[in-house]
Amino acid sequence: MEDTAAEKPVDTGRVADAPSDNWVYRVLPRQAWPYAQLARWDRPIGWELLLWPCLWSSALAANFLAAQGKLSYGTFIFQLVLFFIGAVAMRGAGCTYNDLIDHEIDEKVARTRSRPLPSGRVTRHQAQVFLVAQAMIGLVVLLCFNSFSILLGIASLAIVAIYPFAKRFTNWPQFFLGLAFSWGALMGWAGLTGTLSLAAGILYLAAISWTIGYDTIYAHQDKEDDALIGVRSTARLFGDKTRTWLIGLYGLTSVLLLTAFLLAGVGLPAYLCLLAAVVMFAYQILMLDIDDPEQCLYLFKFNGRVGLILFAGLFLSIHFVSPA
C-alpha cells in the first residue's frame, strides 16, 4: 500500500477568532483581507468599545451645555461623526501596532497564529506602511478639533505606545488598556467645551474600570496559552475570584457613572439607561463561566450593547434638560 501523507490545511485567508461570514469576506477582494484583519474590520466590537467613551463624553458635555443654553447641535453631531471615523482608524492602527509588537507571541497562541503576520500573509514592512496610513487618517480627524483637544489627543499616544508591552511587565495590562481605550471620555468633553471638568475626569475613571472588567472576561479565552508563554493578565491574576473582582469593577463603574451624570446635570433618560446598564453588568457577572471561551467572547461583545444603552440615554436626555 502507498503511504498516505497528511493533507496540508487549506489556507482560507481567514483568522480563527473572527466570524467567517463577515462583510470583509463578501465585499473586499481577497488581497485586501489581511489588511482588514490587521485593522480588525472583521471584528467591529473593538472600535465600538473605543468609540463609546468618546460618545458618552460628547453627550455628557452636550447635556451640560444645553442646560446653559450654549449647545450647538450641529457641532455636536459633527463631533460624533469625527469620533466614529477616528475610532475605526485609530483602533485599526492600534491593532496593527500591537500585532507588530506581539508577532512572536501570536505565533505561539492557538487563537492568534492564523493572523496575517504570524501566518505570513503580510510582511512586517507592509504592516508598518498600513499602520502609518491609518495613523494619518486619525491625524486628519484630530486636526478638525480645537487646539486643546489636539494637544490632549497627542498626549494619549504615550499610553498607546506602552500598552502592548504591559503584558510583559505587569499583571494589570488591562489597566493600561483602560487608560488608552478610555481616553475618549476626556476628548468628547474637551471637543465641545475646549476644557476639562470633574465630570469628564470621573467619566474617564468609570470607563477605565469598565474596560478592566470586560477585557478580563476576554482574557480568560487565552489564559492557558498565556500561562505557558509567560504573558500576564488580570484573568490569570484574578483566577477563580474573577466574579468577585467583576462585582467590584462593574460596581465602581456604575457609581462613577452616576457621579459624572449628577455633576453634568443630565436628564431623566440617562439615569434610566444607567439602571439598565447596571442590570446588564449583573447579567454578565451571573452568567460568567471563566472556563468557557465561547461564553467569555459572547459576554465581552455584550459590552458593546452596554455602551450603546448608556449613549442612548445621554443622547435622549439632552432634550429633557431645561436651559437655566
Whichever domain contains 144, its CATH number is 1.10.357.140
Give domain status of residue 103, yes or no: yes
- In the predicted structure, residue 53 carries a pLDDT above the cut 90: yes
pLDDT band at residue 324, thresholds of 50, 70 and 90? low
Task: Specify the DSSP class assigned to residue 121.
Answer: S
pLDDT in tens, 72-96: 999 999 999 999 999 999 999 989 9
Q: What is the pLDDT of residue 6?
A: 38
Q: Is residue 65 within 8 Å of residue 268, measured between CB atoms?
A: no
Q: What is the pLDDT of residue 146?
A: 97
Measured distance CA(12)–CA(247) in Å, rounded = 41
pLDDT band at residue 107, thresholds of 50, 70 and 90? confident
Region of poorest pLDDT, from 30-44, 99-113, 119-133, 212-226: 99-113
> For residue 317, what are the CA distances in angstroms to 64, 152, 309?
11, 27, 12
Mean pLDDT of 202-222: 95
Q: What is the pLDDT of residue 13?
A: 72
pLDDT band at residue 166, thresholds of 50, 70 and 90? confident
More confident residue, 9 or 13: 13
Cβ-based neighbour number of residue 32 at 10 Å: 12
Give domain status of residue 101, yes or no: yes
Give domain status of residue 162, yes or no: yes
Give domain status of residue 12, yes or no: no
Quick one: what percent of the chain has pLDDT higher than 70?
Answer: 94
pLDDT band at residue 19, thresholds of 50, 70 and 90? low
Find the length of the chain.
Answer: 324
**Whole domain around residue 262: which residue ranges?**
42-320
Give domain status of residue 300, yes or no: yes
Measured distance CA(305)–CA(48) in Å, rounded = 9
pLDDT in tens, 304-317: 999 999 999 999 99
Q: What is the pLDDT of residue 226?
A: 73
User: Across the chain, what does the average pLDDT equal?
Assistant: 90
pLDDT in tens, 235-271: 999 999 999 999 999 999 999 999 999 999 999 999 9
pLDDT in tens, 218-227: 999 878 777 7
Nearest to 199 by CA among 142, 148, 253, 261: 261
Give domain status of residue 17, yes or no: no
Listed in sequence order, the residues at least 6 apart from 213 whose beta carbon sits closer than 8 Å to its beta carbon are 245, 246, 249, 250, 253, 281
pLDDT in tens, 179-192: 999 999 999 999 99
Mean pLDDT of 269-276: 98
Q: What is the pLDDT of residue 177?
A: 94
pTM for the full predicted model: 0.89
Give domain status of residue 9, yes or no: no
Give domain status of residue 289, yes or no: yes
C-alpha cell at 232: 500576564
Mean pLDDT of 138-154: 97
- In the predicted structure, residue 17 carries a pLDDT above the cut 70: no
Say how many domains are in the chain.
1
Mean pLDDT of 267-288: 97
C-alpha cell at 91: 483602533
pLDDT band at residue 3, thresholds of 50, 70 and 90? very low
Mean pLDDT of 287-316: 96
